[in-house]
Structure 1
Amino acid sequence: MNALDYFNARLQATISPMDYIKAKKMNPEQYFLIDVRNGPAHVRSITIKDSHVIPEQELDNRLDEIPKDKKIILYCWDVWCNTAAKVAKSLLEQGYDVKELTGGIAAWQEMNFPVSTATPDNPLSNHCGC
């Protein structure tokens, strides 16, 4: 693979936080954002605002929650985390239109973009699976 092919593939497979916000603003019904991070709920208590929490460990049992008619955007912890990439591969193999959010929640928070916080009355996920 040459450099041009690499960058074309990278751009096809990922979306930056800024590009996601712009795209979502222009066409809000087209996107479905999923937090695929694993781990105890208390370490995942902050999520990107309006994201759907479906940890990778629960994916196979919750596929019915993921629409096939939308662009699926996945995120995990940071650039060092490959959970979103693993989930993207799985969903692509099943016919979903998928991109990974570059930098995960760490990049999102670094840019001070909107987040949601879990509370006892409003848990982000009842299915930790840990």
Structure 2
Amino acid sequence: MNALDYFNARLEATISPMDYLRSKQIESEKYFLIDVRNGPTHVRSLTIEDANIIPEQELPERISEIPKDKEIIVYCWDVWCNTAAKVAKFLLEQGYKVKELTGGIAAWQQMNFPVSKSNNISDNCGC
């Protein structure tokens, strides 16, 4: 793979927090954002505003909650976390159109974008 192919593939598979926020403001119904983070409840209490919380370990039994007619955006903790990439791969194999939010919730918070407290968190941390 040459550099151009690499960057084209990377841009096709990811979306930056700024690009996602801008695109969602233009076409709010186009996207379905999923917080796929695993971990203890107390560390997952903040989530990106309007995100659907479906931890990676719950995904197979909750896949029916994910619409096939929207572009799915998945995120996890940070650039060092590969949970969102694993979920994206799984959803792509199921026929979904998926992108990973680059930098996860850490990048989102760093940019001071809207977050909210989540009341819909399962206690099964998947640790």
TM-score, structure 1 normalization? 0.94
1:2-46 superposed Cα distances (whole Å, 9 cap, x missing partner): 000000000000000000001101100010000000011111000
Task: Check conservation: 2:40, 2:123, Cα contact below 8 A.
Answer: no
1:46-97 superposed Cα distances (whole Å, 9 cap, x missing partner): 0000000000000000001000000000000000000000000000000000
Shift of 1:124: 2.7
Q: Which residue identity does 2:49 align to in structure 1?
A: K
1:116 maps to 116
Number of corresponding residues: 126
What is the distance in 2 between the residues matched to 1:111 and 1:47? 14
What is the distance in 2 between the residues matched to 1:28 and 1:83? 25
2:122 maps to 126
Cα RMSD of the aligned pairs, angstroms, is 1.0
Unpaired runs of at least 5, structure 1: none
- Stretches (4+) displaced over 4 A: none
1:98 maps to 98
Q: Look up the SS of the partner of 1:116 in the other structure.
A: strand
Structure 2 residue 3 is the aligned partner of structure 1 residue 7: no
Unpaired runs of at least 5, structure 2: none
Task: Check conservation: 2:53, 2:120, Cα contact below 8 A.
Answer: yes
Shift of 1:117: 1.1
TM-score, structure 2 normalization? 0.96
Q: Look up the SS of the partner of 1:112 in the other structure.
A: coil
What is the distance in 2 between the residues matched to 1:82 and 1:126? 20
